[in-house]
Amino acid sequence: MRMFPNRREGMMAARNRLGLIFAMFLMLAGAACVNAIGQQATEMRTPKPPDAPRIHGPKIYGARPGHPFLYRIPCTGIRPIRFSAKHLPATLKLDRQTGIITGEAPEAHGEYVVKLEAANSHGKDSRTFKIVVGDTIGLTPQMGWNDWYTFYNRVTAKDVRSAADAMISSGMADFGYQYVDIDDCWARKPGSQDPELKGPVRDADGNILPNARFADMSGLVKYIHSLGLKAGIYSSPGPLTCARYEGSYQHEAADARRFSQWGFDLLKYDWCSYGRIAKDKTLPSFQAPYRKMGSILEGLNRDVVLNMCQYGMGDVWQWGRQAGGNSWRTTGDLGVVKGNVLPGFYSIGFSNAEHSKYAGPGGWNDPDYILIGTVGNARDMNAPARHTQLTPEEQYSYMSMWSLMAAPLFYSGDMTALDALTRNVLCNAEVVDIDQDSLGKQGRIVRKTDEEFILAKPLADGSLAVGLFNLTTAPRSITVNWRDLGVTGRQTVRDVWRQHDLGVYATDYSTQVPVHGVELVRLIPKKRL
């Protein structure tokens, strides 16, 4: 029930309504786009960021003592922007032009509260950034890009470089996308006759060798780092990767050392042929290879995030963190899931949402990558990448669900073919803030029926992010009661995608939700006067 207990709130709500009508007019007039079928005008939900600087990204960041440190301050606004940082630990230094912080994390465990500042000729902004030096890294879900669903077994160093360049030039990095990850197929392939893949898989000292498409791994990682971005690599605890390239079995420590020498910041460790090595299907067998790699990585002198990939076996969400994982895939590959009326990401999302209580700072449920924009076909890897068949509403639902689930946000489409809608879906600062929230809670399921799905995620500032998803093929009015959400009292309801307040509500909130779409709101408790 909506109410305006005083004149000011009533006027504000009226102004918000006028604002909304005006914004809708602008969107329809200027930012409307025609979908692939060429019929329907689509609203671009995310407003253009202001010309003045706005600092984005996580407000909390974990680093191990004395380890190399690299962080590019995500910031929108017209460049040049001048950056500064108050109370930056003495072991770190900021490049004021690029906003890249480098150096080593302090040796002493503790919390270092830094004030990041950015200014240009249009204005300025600041944001608190708490560096927590200790044992835990990955305090917020990782964000970045992974090549798999675009390049499969064709990936080259050049593709990865271009993706890193595009992460900067597209502005994605300004919203917090940071990791540039190489997936399978960078190593050599035992038994292959392909001149680019064949040859000894290791050198005389047992060091794993990249294939000819990745002739200079250190150079590639250095380049990624020079942009202020981080680099990820892939291996398997089995003798072979899923695509049958060299894996790390019996070379775990040497491979981890090599990855670290090359400068990698993340390892995706994919079960694959380890199935042949594991003695049985008991929990200790599922855990063994991850425990081993987890403790090796913890002993390195750089921070390497461990992205476990074993498709949820043995209820990995219950023990992934203890095994050293910073995230763990909870399901099989999203790209091969056949949707029915609802596209495949919904079923993956529904299942990932069940494990909300296991996610938290340092360890996240991973429902796989975001497949929108121009993207390859995992069921026919040789087919050229093409534009997603998901409707714009489905794409906004996808990104909303992943953010409410505090999922790692990895885009896996073609970075060099980012269109306006894809950027609009991936780059909404308030949506990303929900994913990256410092409290690190995964949204819980409030309602799941054949028609409606509701997720609610408590945030560090005491507000609550709520996603109302319409699973049907007709527009639908969805209502949620405060009782179901566990909140009481008057709440300012904010439309997160469109970034404006909708009004003050006392007991419930109802809204019209498009077909397969979402309305994502934030409930901000009104302070009692």
Interface contacts to ligand GLA, rule CB under 6 A: 148, 183-184, 241-243, 270, 309, 333
Assess whether 450 carries a catalytic annotation.
no
What is the Cα–Cα distance from 446 to 269, expressed in whole angstroms?
33
What is the Cα–Cα distance from 102 to 443, expressed in whole angstroms?
33
- Answer whether 77's CB lies under 8 Å from 115's CB: no
Nearer to ligand GLA, 183 or 265 (CB): 183
Indicate the residue type of 151. F
Determine which one of 147, 183, 184, 270 is catalytic.
270
Instruction: Give the angle subtended at the CA of 305 by the CAs of 302 and 306, to the nearest 5°.
Output: 125
Nearer to ligand GLA, 157 or 518 (CB): 157
Q: How far is the CB of 347 from ligand GLA (least distance, A)?
A: 16
Q: How far is the CB of 243 from ligand GLA (least distance, A)?
A: 4
What is the Cα–Cα distance from 467 to 457, expressed in whole angstroms?
9
Determine which one of 333, 368, 435, 437 is catalytic.
333
What is the Cα–Cα distance from 244 to 225, expressed in whole angstroms?
29
Q: How far is the CB of 328 from ligand GLA (least distance, A)?
A: 12
Q: How far is the CB of 270 from ligand GLA (least distance, A)?
A: 5
Nearer to ligand GLA, 60 or 242 (CB): 242
- Answer whether 149's CB lies under 8 Å from 376's CB: yes
Q: How far is the CB of 49 from ligand GLA (least distance, A)?
A: 32
Provide the 3-class DSSP secondary structure of residue 514: coil
Q: How far is the CB of 149 from ligand GLA (least distance, A)?
A: 8
Nearer to ligand GLA, 148 or 262 (CB): 148
Nearer to ligand GLA, 309 or 401 (CB): 309
Nearer to ligand GLA, 159 or 433 (CB): 159
Provide the 3-class DSSP secondary structure of residue 406: coil
Show the 3-state SS of 185-234.
CCECCCCCCCCCCCCCCECCCCCECECHHHCCHHHHHHHHHHCCCEEEEE
How close are the terminal C-alpha atoms of the chain, in Å?
Answer: 20
Helices (H), 100-216: 148-151, 157-169
- Answer whether 499's CB lies under 8 Å from 434's CB: no
Length in residues, the chain:
529
Nearer to ligand GLA, 53 or 232 (CB): 232
Q: Nearest 10 degrees: CA dihedral of 218, 174, 412, 201?
A: 10
Integer-rounded Cα Rg, in Å, for the chain is 23
Q: How far is the CB of 214 from ligand GLA (least distance, A)?
A: 15
What is the Cα–Cα distance from 254 to 252, expressed in whole angstroms?
6
Assess whether 270 carries a catalytic annotation.
yes
Tokens of 473: 């093929």
Active centre residues (catalytic): 270, 333
